[in-house]
Amino acid sequence: MGAARLFKPAHFRGDQDCSWASLPVSASTSIRLSSISWRKPPRDAVKLNTDASVVASCATGEGLLRTFEGKLVFAFYKEFGDVDVLMAEALALVAGLQCCRYRNFKQILVEADSCSLVCLVNSDKVAKWPACQVVRHVRVLLQDLNSTLSPVFRETNSAADALATA
């Protein structure tokens, strides 16, 4: 209870010899708030945000590409069937990158809110599980498109997230 800061110094007024009296911390803690929002890419680049969701064994992937001015270039939605969320995130990323390649975009900053997927793609490791072929495909597409993949907070990825949960 002391670690949870449920005790206050006032609870021990007059009982300073109690061993629990040292538990309360009277110093106030401050909370620092910061704004999280989508950031525009540099002038010579575009930004692709992708996301996925799985509801009742039905996986979908969504994403959108925007210019440095924040203008929408395209959006996509794709159904993947019965796959887990990591595979859905990977397939959504592939779909978005393929749309970019089809439209001849280069210099793409790619953002996804799946830290697990971003770590897998950006590592040099591979394994023998189902998503590895998709991860390899993502790596090839990123290299061909001269693109980078970065993790973002879900709040930063809100436009793609809204497509995923619609």
Give dist(CA 61, CA 71) in Å, integer: 21
Average pLDDT, the chain: 82
Structural domains in the chain, CATH included, are 46-165 (3.30.420.10)
Nearest CA among 11, 21, 80 for reference residue 50: 80
Task: Tell whether the model's pLDDT for residue 29 goes beyond 70.
Answer: no
Q: How far apart are the first and last CA of the chain?
A: 42
| Residue listed under structure tokens 């996804």 | 112
Q: Identify whether the C-beta of residue 96 lies closer than 8 Å to the C-beta of residue 112.
A: no
Residue 138: burial class (beta carbons within 10 Å; 0-12, 13-18, 19+): buried
Task: Tell whether the model's pLDDT for residue 141 goes beyond 90.
Answer: yes
What's the rounded mean pLDDT across residues 129-144?
88
Give dist(CA 62, CA 75) in Å, integer: 7
